[in-house]
Amino acid sequence: MVNYPEIDRYSALDSPMHRFDPRAKIIAFLILIFAVVLLPDLKLAFIGFIGAVLFLIASKLPLRFALQHIKWVFLFVVPFIVIMPFTVDGTEIFSFYGLTMTYEGLEYGILVAVRAISAVILVLPMIATTRFDITIKALDRLKMPNMLVQMFMFTYRYIFVFVVEFQRTWRAMVARGFKLKTSLYALKTIGKALGMLFVRSYERGDRVYQALRSRGYTGSPRTLVEFQMHASDYIWAILIIGFAVSLYVIPFAGVS
Amino acid sequence: MVHISDGILSLPVLAAGWAITIALLAVALWWSKKKGNLEEEIPKLSVMTAAFFVASLIHIPVGPTSAHFILNGLVGVILGIFAFPAIFIGVVLQAVLFQHGGITTIGINTVNMGIPALIAGGIFKAGCGGILSNRNEISAGIFGALVGGLAVVLTVIFTAVALIATSKEAFFEIAIALTIAHIPIIVIEAIVTGSIVVFLLKVKPELIGSI
C-alpha cells in the first residue's frame, strides 16, 4: 500500500561517490543537473546523458536499484515522446489519417526525455550515496535556513513512523473485509482512515515537542557529524562542475 | 503526475518558480518568527507534514491506472500559511526520495501545489465560521469537498500554464491531455477531502478551526 523511502539503502557501499564530501557533492551535482536540464541541443543532451551514466557507474549503486528509481520519470516523459511528434509543426516524416509526424516534434520530444532521464540519473550519485540524515546535515552546513533544515529532519524521521502506522490501520481495514475500489464508499472509508492518521499525528506532534523540550531542545539543531574537504573532494567537484561548464563551451568552440 | 519532471520547462519558468517559492517561504518564516514560538511550531508542523507525505504515497486505482493523493487543499485547511513550507518539504522529499518530480522543478512544483493550498485554506477559513460553530456535518462535508476539489483544479491549471509558458507551440496539446487526465483525480480528491473534513469535525474539531 505504502512503501518506505529507501533512497539511502546502498549508502554504506564504498565508491568515489560515497567518499565524496556531501557538501561538495550536493553543490557540484546541483550545478550539473541544472546544466543538463537546460541543454538546447539533442547531441549535447546525449553527451550529458553519457556523463550522467558514467557518474552513476562511478557510484557503484546496483543497477536494479538505479532502474527502480529511474523508472518513474518514464511515466512522465512518455506522453511527450508520443504526443509531440504529431503536434509540433515542421518537416513531415510520414502521415496517416490526417496525423502528421514531424521531425522537429520527434526531436523535441526525445530532447525532453533525454534531459529528464539524465537529471534523474544524476540524483542517484548525489543523494543515494550518503545516508539521508547526513545529507540534511550537509544542507545545514550549506546555510539552508534553520527552520527548513529542522523540518526536513523531523519530517523524514516521522515518515517512517507513519508508514508503519498507516500499514497497521490498513491491515485492520482489510481484515474487516475492506476492498479498495473506485467507489464512493471506499473513498469515504479511506478518508476516515486518513483522518485518523492526521488526528494521531497532531497529538503526536504535541508529545514530540514536550519530549524534545524536556531534553533541552531550543529550536537549533546540534550535529555530531563533522565534514572535512580532502584533495579528492576538490578534484571530483572540479571534474563535475567542469563537465557542466564544458557542455556549454563545446558548441562555441566549434567542436560539435 | 502534477509534479513536473526535470528537462521539460524553460529557464524563465523554472526561475520564476524558484523566486516565488523562496519569497513565500521567507514570508512564512517571518510570520512564524513574529508569532514567536518557532521551537514549538517546528516539531508539530513537521509531524503533520510527515503525515501528509505518507498520505500522498497512497495509490488509488482509477479505472485502468492508479493515481496518488495530493491533498493540498486539506493541507491548506489544516496548516494555514504553514501549508507552503510543508508542501515545499513534501515536494523536495518526493523528488529526492522517490524521484517523483524533478530537482530543478522544485520551485515551480511548490508554487503549483502550494498556492492552491493557501487559496483553499483561505476560502475554507472565510466560509467555515458558521459550519464549525453549529457542527453541520453535511455542509462541512460539501464545503470541504469543494475546497479539496478546487485546490486540485487550480494545481492542474497552474501546471498547464507552466507548460504552455515554456512553449505554447510544443506543449499546448500535452497540457490539454494532462488536464483531461486529472478530471477523475479532482473528483476523488474532492470526495476524500470532504470525508476527512467531516471526520475531523467529529473527532478533532480544533484541527480544522484553530490555525
Q: Where are the domains of chain B?
A: 11-209
Q: Where are the domains of chain A?
A: 16-136+226-253, 145-214
Does residue A158 sit at the B interface (CB-CB below 8 Å)? Answer: yes
* Residue to test with chain B: of A71, A72, A76, most B Cβ within 10 A: A76
pLDDT at B207: 83
Whether pLDDT at B1 is above 70: no
Q: Do A182 and B78 touch (CB under 8 A)?
A: no
Q: Choose the closest CB to A119 out of B60, B102, B177.
A: B102
Given a contact cutoff of 8 angstroms between Cβ atoms, the answer to whether A229 and A24 are in contact is: yes
Please list the alpha-helical segments (H only) found in chain A: 16-19, 22-37, 42-58, 63-87, 103-127, 132-141, 146-175, 184-214, 231-253
Closest approach of B113 to chain A, Cα-based (Å): 17
pLDDT at A254: 63
pLDDT at B63: 66
Tens-of-pLDDT digits for all 256 residues of chain A?
677 788 889 999 999 999 999 999 999 999 999 999 999 989 999 999 999 999 999 999 999 999 989 988 887 888 888 888 888 888 877 777 777 888 888 899 999 999 999 999 999 999 999 999 999 999 988 988 888 998 999 999 999 999 999 999 999 999 999 988 878 899 899 999 999 999 999 888 888 888 888 888 876 766 677 888 999 999 999 999 999 999 998 877 765 4
Complex ipTM value: 0.91
Report chain A residues whose CB lies below 8 A from the CB of B174.
Answer: 79-80, 83-84, 87
DSSP code per residue over chain B? --SPPTTSS-HHHHHHHHHHHHHHHHHHHHHHHHHS-HHHHHHHHHHHHHHHHHHTT-EEEETTEEEE---HHHHHHHHGGGHHHHHHHHHHHIIIII--S-STTHHHHHHHHHHHHHHHHHHHHHH-HHHHHHT-HHHHHHHHHHHHHHHHHHHHHHHHHHHHHH-HHHHHHHHHHHHHHTHHHHHHHHHHHHHHHHHHHHH-THHHH--
Per-residue burial over B145-183, b = 16 or more CB atoms within 10 Å of its CB, e = otherwise? bbbbbbbbbbbbebbbebbbbbbeebbeebbeebbeebe
* Residue to test with chain B: of A201, A203, A217, A222, most B Cβ within 10 A: A201
Query: Whole-angstrom Cα distance, residue B93 to residue B186?
Result: 23
Least confident range from A43-47, A153-157, B29-33, B68-72: namely B29-33
Q: Choose the closest CB to A155 out of B10, B49, B188.
A: B49
Whether pLDDT at B195 is above 60: yes
Given a contact cutoff of 8 angstroms between Cβ atoms, the answer to whether A193 and A173 are in contact is: yes
pLDDT at B59: 80
What is chain B's mean pLDDT, rounded?
88
Residue of chain B whose Cα is closest to the Cα of A205: B44
Query: Whole-angstrom Cα distance, residue A76 to residue A81?
Result: 10
Residue of chain B whose Cα is closest to the Cα of A115: B7
Closest approach of B136 to chain A, Cα-based (Å): 17
Q: Do B85 and A201 touch (CB under 8 A)?
A: no
pLDDT at B211: 45
- Find all residues with CB under 8 Å of B38, minimum gap 6, and list them: A147, A219, B32
Residue of chain B whose Cα is closest to the Cα of A32: B104
Closest approach of B112 to chain A, Cα-based (Å): 17
pLDDT at B42: 85
pLDDT at B132: 64
Does residue A121 sit at the B interface (CB-CB below 8 Å)? Answer: no
Least confident range from A134-148, A173-187, B83-97, B197-211: namely B197-211
Query: Whole-angstrom Cα distance, residue A77 to residue A204?
Result: 39
Given a contact cutoff of 8 angstroms between Cβ atoms, the answer to whether A220 and A146 are in contact is: yes
pLDDT at A221: 66
Closest approach of A201 to chain B, Cα-based (Å): 6
Given a contact cutoff of 8 angstroms between Cβ atoms, the answer to whether B110 and B21 are in contact is: yes
Report chain A residues whose CB lies below 8 A from the CB of B59.
Answer: 1
Q: Which of B210, A249, A208 is nearest to B201 (CA)?
A: B210
* Residue to test with chain B: of A27, A49, A151, most B Cβ within 10 A: A151
Which amino acid is it at A104? E
In whole angstroms, how far apart are CA A118 and each of A46, A97, A112, A158, A246? 9, 35, 10, 31, 16
- Assigned CATH topology for domain B11-209: Arp2/3 complex 21 kDa subunit ARPC3 (1.10.1760)
User: pLDDT (tens digit, 9 = 90+) per residue, B102-149?
Assistant: 899 999 999 999 999 999 999 988 877 666 666 677 888 888 999 999
pLDDT at A256: 47
Does residue A11 sit at the B interface (CB-CB below 8 Å)? Answer: no
pLDDT at A83: 85
Q: Which of B115, B99, B95 is nearest to B162 (CA)?
A: B115
Residue of chain A whose Cα is closest to the Cα of B36: A219
Report chain A residues whose CB lies below 8 A from the CB of B184.
Answer: 182
* Residue to test with chain A: of B1, B3, B5, B193, most A Cβ within 10 A: B5
pLDDT at B204: 87
The number of C-beta contacts closer than 8 angstroms across A and B is 244
Sign of the alpha-carbon torsion through B167, B172, B173, B179: positive
pLDDT at B16: 96
